[in-house]
Homo-oligomer: A and B are copies of this chain.
Amino acid sequence: MSLITVGSVAFDAIETPFGKTDKIIGGAGTYIALSSSYFTNDQKIISVVGDDFPNETLADLKSRGVDIEGIQIKQGEKTFFWSGKYHNDMNSRDTLVTELNVLENFDPIVPDSYQGSDFLMLGNLAPAVQKSVIERLQNRPKLIAMDTMNFWMDIAWDDLMETLKLVDVLIINDEEARQMSKEYSLVRAAKVIMAMGPKYLIIKKGEHGALLFEGEKIFYAPALPLEEVFDPTGAGDTFAGGFIGYLARTGDISFDNMKSAVIAGSAMASFCVEKFGTERLMNLSQDEIYNRIMEFVNLVNFDMEQVM
């Protein structure tokens, strides 16, 4: 089924204990689209870049089946740029530079050919921008998922609450869930957040996996225990891309299939962190992805037939 991805297509510069990059390709929209392109070739993206953004990268997305008609190229303007430095434990980072540039006045355009899409994935952006995309779709998609972050909770709470009422799945991390709900227990946090609108909630816990909630139901997806996290940038977006891509591929939005989609997202995220930026996501084979998913199956599989 068809998928619309909304999110930044951008430049990043990253420093980790393992090294440092110059300006490389980044952005939530890029990671989501790359990741979901392994599951669906019926994907359309909505974003904005400046005239400094390389045509090859746009061509690359196109070659992966991503319709880029919805990427506005602003002449005379610069692409969004973020630079950050990770600490030794890779669990925290400092933002060194944020240049909003074209994102400052981003007014998303939904091309006519995008109308009628089945799935909508709203990457992290101002909640008002996310909402405007929903409003510009003539028919409500079968499923709308969104990401957000602490920053919007701090400066655009009311917008966030309005947007949240319109979506089906919210995907955030544990720290964000705690801030949003003012609850420390993630089970309690989930209840508070689902009462704000979304029927499903995914709480990402980094190296500790992810939790999927629907009402009283909970699913716990592990993260693959890794020897090394080389660069965590984009892992959350890559997770979201694998998740929504898997749903778009299968067309099944039951809780059971969402569990599988969370595993697909976790598998994709485990690739993302193996190299800097989007590098590892550029040339995965279907076999590599299949084998990685099987690693997750083996990781959690147990049989309690002998019990009691």
Q: Which A residues have a C-beta under 8 Å from some C-beta of B?
A: 88-89, 184-188, 205, 208-209, 211, 218-222, 225-229, 246, 250, 252, 256-257, 259-260, 262-264, 286, 289-290, 293, 297, 299-304, 306-308
A286 contact set on B, CB distance < 8 A:
308
Q: Tell me if B205 and A208 are in contact (CB < 8 A).
A: yes
- State in angstroms the CA–CA spacing of A300 and B220 once bound together: 5
Does A225 contact B304, Cβ atoms closer than 8 Å?
A: no
* Residue among A186, A220, A286 facing the most chain B CB atoms (10 A cut-off): A220
Asked if B290 contacts A185 (CB within 8 A), the reply is no
**Across-interface contacts of A205 in B (CB, < 8 A):** 208
Can you spell out 22 A-B residue pairs with CB atoms less than 8 angstroms apart? A187-B225, A188-B228, A205-B208, A208-B209, A209-B222, A211-B225, A220-B222, A220-B300, A221-B302, A222-B222, A222-B300, A246-B307, A250-B306, A252-B306, A256-B303, A257-B306, A259-B301, A262-B302, A264-B307, A286-B308, A293-B304, A297-B304
Given the complex of chains A and B, what is the CA–CA distance between A304 and B263 in angstroms? 9
B250 near A220 (CB under 8 angstroms)?
no
- Smallest CB–CB gap between A113 and chain B, Å? 28
Q: Which residues of B contact A188 (CB under 8 A)?
A: 227-228
The listed residue (B186, B226, B264, B302) touching A225 by CB distance below 8 A is B186
Q: Which residue of B lies closest to A264 (CB)?
A: B307
Assuming the contacts A186-B225, A225-B211, A289-B308, asked whether A302 and B218 have C-beta atoms less than 8 A apart, the reply is: no
CB distance from A258 to the nearest CB of B (A): 9
Contacts of A187 in B (CB 8 A): 225-227
* Chain B residues within 8 Å of A184, by CB: 88-89
Query: Within the complex, what minimum Cβ distance (angstroms) separates A191 from chain B?
Result: 8
User: Which residue of B has the minimal Cβ distance to A208?
Assistant: B208
Q: Is the CB of B308 within 8 A of A290?
A: yes
A250 contact set on B, CB distance < 8 A: 306
A36 shortest CB reach to chain B, Å = 14
Question: Which of A208, A228, A229: most chain B CB closer than 10 A?
Answer: A208
Q: Which of B185, B219, B220, B229 contacts A226 (CB 8 A)?
A: B185
A299 to B302, CA, bound (A): 12
Q: Does A185 lie within 8 Å of B228, measured CB to CB?
A: yes
CA A289 – CA B304 in complex, angstroms?
Answer: 12
A227 to B183, CA, bound (A): 10
> A253 to chain B: closest CB distance in Å?
13
Question: Are B297 and A219 in contact (CB-based, < 8 A)?
Answer: no
- Given A205-B208, A307-B290, check contact A299 B218 (CB 8 Å): yes
Q: How far is the CB of A286 from chain B (nearest CB, A)?
A: 6
- Best-buried of A209, A222, A293 by chain B (most CB within 10 Å): A222
- Pairs A-B, 7 closest by C-beta atoms: A220-B222, A208-B208, A259-B302, A300-B300, A187-B227, A187-B225, A220-B299
Q: Is there contact, CB below 8 Å, between A303 and B260?
A: yes
Question: How distant is the Cα of A303 from the Cα of B300 in the complex, in angstroms?
Answer: 12
